[in-house]
Structure 1
Amino acid sequence: MNYVKRLLAAGAMSFAALPAFAAQNVTWWDFLSGGDGVRMKALIQRFNEEHPDIQINGTTLEWGVPFYTKVRTSVTVGQGPDVMTYHLSRMPLGLEENVLDTISDEDMAAAGLSKSDFFPASIAAASDENGALHAVPFDIHSIVLYVNKSYLKGSRFLDDKGNVTGIESLADFEEAMALAKANGSDTPLSYATGDDGGTYRVFYTLMKQQGGELIADGQVLPGDNLGKAAKAIEIMTHWHEEGWQPEQAEYPASVALFTSGKSAFHMNGVWEVPTMIDLAAQNKLGFEWTAIQIPTLLGTTATWADSHAFAIPAGSKMSPEKRKAVMTVIGWMEKNSLAWAGAGHIPAYKPVATSESFKEMEPNATYSSLAETAAYDPRSVIAGVASPVYDASINIISPAMHGYMDPQQAAEQLQAELQAKLH
């Protein structure tokens, strides 16, 4: 009898030791390193702590071509993740490669979201030509203009509150750079002139501010867009000839020129905002800085932009319960994206982007207006992150602005090389 009691007691204890339910394990892939990676890992940890019934198993892969190659291969063999980060600029290529599942209105409802919760430009970039959604935008990240205010003191470019003002045209901006040069700035404008991303983002911004299209209806620089591309390269070449921008500066060097106080202006992504904040907090900047939306230099307000988004690989054979868990993850991330904004990004989820908490986040709130005029890459398989367009920027545009090719010739070569890749 005592043996039976002990056996029953042992059985009860073993059942008590089991969890009351089996958690849904969500396999997650991202390409986020540096400050972005730290913030995302913290978000994943918070989610897991708050959701014992759903656990994210995260893996970080190498950014760029290696990540997207891995995604394509994994989908082909049916071993992809349940959810992954994705650049919206890669959307056209992802659709052509059939690696992205459709995210339905029912999926969005399961996440507590709807398309109307997001900025229109980001939803358009996340959708196919028929309007079907294939990713959920997480942020809008763009280039902005970082400013060292010390070079502008006493000029018309700072108001009585110390805000940057008066840069409303190309002539204004060039006047400000000339002033900074006269006030001792070695290189008034730093950006990555020897880097594909830095060169492309400035070039594309200058093109879009002319109302230009890099690719339209399957054609590269059709009609008067060829002239607009040449003008963008001509402007960048002029900045080089005046000694306002650095010679073949790679990305780290371009940032260092600004943080060391040698540059009055710096064109770079919002992702460097944490760098500036951290250095200022450590009293390592030595000057007062801010970041503003790229001014309207050429008549049209537009700035190169991209978005990190969440996507589900095509061919996923997950259960309805697993899919609901995945959408729960995406919905939670969107609603908690204020923490992600700390990396300099603008939340794509409007309830967070318009919240009082975000409005108090500087300098993000100052440049957040760019979300309404964000200029995403052309909807083309040859555009987007780590694409032929980026390759052409370092192989054609960068040499041209350094004086190795006429701007018109460079635009024509850009047109010819990219057009060949569309056929």
Structure 2
Amino acid sequence: MINLRTTMAASLAALMAMPAAAQETVVWWDFLAGGDGVRMKSLIEQFNEEHPEIQIDGTTLEWGVPFYTKVRTSAAVGQGPDVMTYHLSRLPLALEEGVLSPITDEDMQVAGLSEEDFFPSALEAAKGPDGQLYAVPFDIHSIVLYYNKSYLEGTDYLDENGELTGIDSLESFEAALQAAAANGANPPLSYQTGGEGGVWRIFYTLLAQQGGEFIVDGEVLPGDNADKAVTALQTMRHWAEEGWTPEQAEYEASVALFSSGQSAFQINGVWEVPTQVDMAEAGTLGYEWGAVQVPTLMGTEATWADSHAFAIPVQGDEEMSPEKREAVMTVIGWMEEHAIQWASAGHIPAYRPITESDEYQQMEPNATYASLADTAVFDPRDPIAGVASPVYDQALNIMVPAIAGYLSPEDAVAQMQSDLSGMMQ
């Protein structure tokens, strides 16, 4: 007769003798600072707590050119991370440099994701010209129009619920600026007038709202796109000449003008939503506010946007092991499924099941401006464009002087065409 106790003891001893499953360490790089960094670190900690078999080893590097330079050099020698955050606007440069590993259908299945889960605007920006996916979008971050309700009381621009209304053209927007100025706003509109980011995002929005394109078939502002670019710069210059916008305001100063209650409107990224929320909760804001999709000022519904995404860099001549790749895709899938926490930073989750969830739909003002995900216009699909690129340099070196009156919009457009065309040869 088999001794049950002896059999169980032998089985237990055999199990104890078996080697433990190897823990996979996923090396992670990001460029996320401030509130974004805090939220991402919290997500990483939560993932590590829930997944003892996979541990994320995270490092935060300097945003912008330093980050992308380090990615390029590390990929060449096989010393990069297993996964990293990446701006989709820099995807064309990454493809030219060959630093990204394609994301396959099998990868997506491991992550529990499908392409249909994502907003088309972000998904398209994550693909190469051949339709191959090279990154998994995490969010859509765009500029929005913030407004201080106190300057709009008694005007035609607040409805009975205290929400912004009546702005559906350039004329009506400028009339709202005049009304706000008459109510004491000084300046009525704040944005980063002295830096490349704020200037480019508004310029590109106004260009796209005219149906314009910045780069077409390797040419900078060809045909009537140049005229549309002139119109965009003339509009921004007019705002400056009327005293509706600040002179040469750096980013922090432009934010302070609105958050201190001096400006009635602010055009800035969704990432400033937490600033407003935190100040309101602390009782230091002093006014009621809202945020909406940038109104259609020039005929076409369009807004500049970019995406934070997850990408897998190449590792020199080395191939990532199947076990490591499975762990990486598990990380990416988990992050997408927990993107509601990332949404608290103001971002619109690119993963539609989160954006369409009841929890997100109750998140304001995020749910109000989430409609822009369908009309988002990403930066030109070219290696010289995107965040921290030569195109952004042109915004600082040429557009800013034109808006300030030191250069005509026509000359500014001609100079941009000349400078950037030379870089594309």
TM-score exceeds 0.5: yes
2:421 maps to what in 1?
A: 419
Write the letter of the residue equivalent to 1:372: D
Identity of counterpart residues, as a percentage?
A: 65
Aligned partners of 1:401, 1:106: CA distance in 2, in Å? 49
The aligned counterpart of 1:7 is none
Partner of 1:356: 358
Q: Which residue of 2 aligns with 1:378?
A: 380
In the TM superposition, what is the alpha-carbon distance from 1:174 to its structure 2 partner? 0.1
Which residue number in structure 2 is paired with residue 165 of structure 1?
A: 165
Counterpart in the other structure of 2:276: 276
In the alignment, the residues of structure 1 paired with residue 242 and residue 18 of structure 2 have an alpha-carbon distance, to the nearest angstrom, of 72
String of CA shifts for 1:357-396, please: whole Å, max 9, x gaps: 0000011001000000000001001100100010000000
Matches of 1:106 and 1:119 in 2, distance apart?
Answer: 20
Q: In 1, distance between residues paired with 2:34 and 2:16? A: 42
Q: Which residue of 2 aligns with 1:177?
A: 177
Instruction: Quote the Cα distance in structure 1 between the aligned partners of 2:409 and 2:61.
Output: 38
The residue number in structure 1 matching 2:64 is 64
**Gapped runs of 5+ residues in structure 1?**
1-11
Report the AA paired with residue 331 of structure 2: V
Shift of 1:18: 10
Partner of 2:191: 191
Q: How far apart, CA to CA, are the structure 1 residues paired with 2:423 and 2:368? A: 39
Cα distance, 1:19–1:173 mapped onto 2, change above 3 Å? farther
Corresponding position of 1:332: 334
Q: How does 1:19-418 map to 2 (within 5 A)?
A: 20-315=20-315, 317-418=319-420
Count of residue pairs the alignment pairs up: 411
1:396 partner amino acid: I
Q: 1:422 offset after TM fit, Å?
A: 0.6
3-state SS of 1:45 partner: helix
C-alpha deviations, 1:121-178, integer Å up to 9, x for none? 1010000001000000000000000100111111111110111000000000000000
Runs of 4+ in 1 over 4 A off after TM superposition: 15-19
**Structure-2 separation of matches of 1:58 and 1:279:** 30
Residue identity opposite 1:331 in structure 2: G
Instruction: Using structure 1 for the length normalisation, give the TM-score.
Output: 0.95
Q: Which amino acid aligns with 2:128?
A: D
CA distance in 1, matches of 2:153, 2:20: 65
Q: What is the Cα deviation at residue 19 of structure 1?
A: 8.0
Call closer, same or farther: CA 1:396–1:51 in 2, change over 3 Å. Answer: same
1:55-91 deviation per Cα after TM superposition (whole angstroms, max 9, x unaligned): 1000000000000000001001111110000000000
Q: Distance in 2 between matches of 1:76 and 1:306?
A: 26
The secondary structure found in structure 2 opposite 1:404 is coil
State the alpha-carbon separation in 1 of the partners of residues 417 and 227 from structure 2: 11
**Which secondary structure state, in structure 2, belongs to the residue aligned with residue 268 of structure 1?**
strand
**Distance in 2 separating the partners of 1:283 and 1:230:** 43
C-alpha distance in structure 2 between counterparts of 1:19 and 1:339, whole Å: 37
* Letter of the structure 1 residue corresponding to residue 343 of structure 2: A
- Cα distance 1:237–1:59, how it changes in 2: closer, same or farther (>3 A)? same
- Amino acid in structure 1 at the alignment position of 2:86: Y
Q: Where does residue 4 of structure 2 map in the other structure? A: none
Provide closer, same or farther for how the CA distance between residues 294 and 19 of structure 1 changes in structure 2, counting only shifts above 3 A.
farther
Structure 1 equivalent of residue 8 of structure 2: none
User: 1:22 deviation in Å?
Assistant: 1.9
Task: State the superposition RMSD in angstroms.
Answer: 1.4
Quote the Cα distance in structure 2 between the aligned partners of 1:107 and 1:272: 34
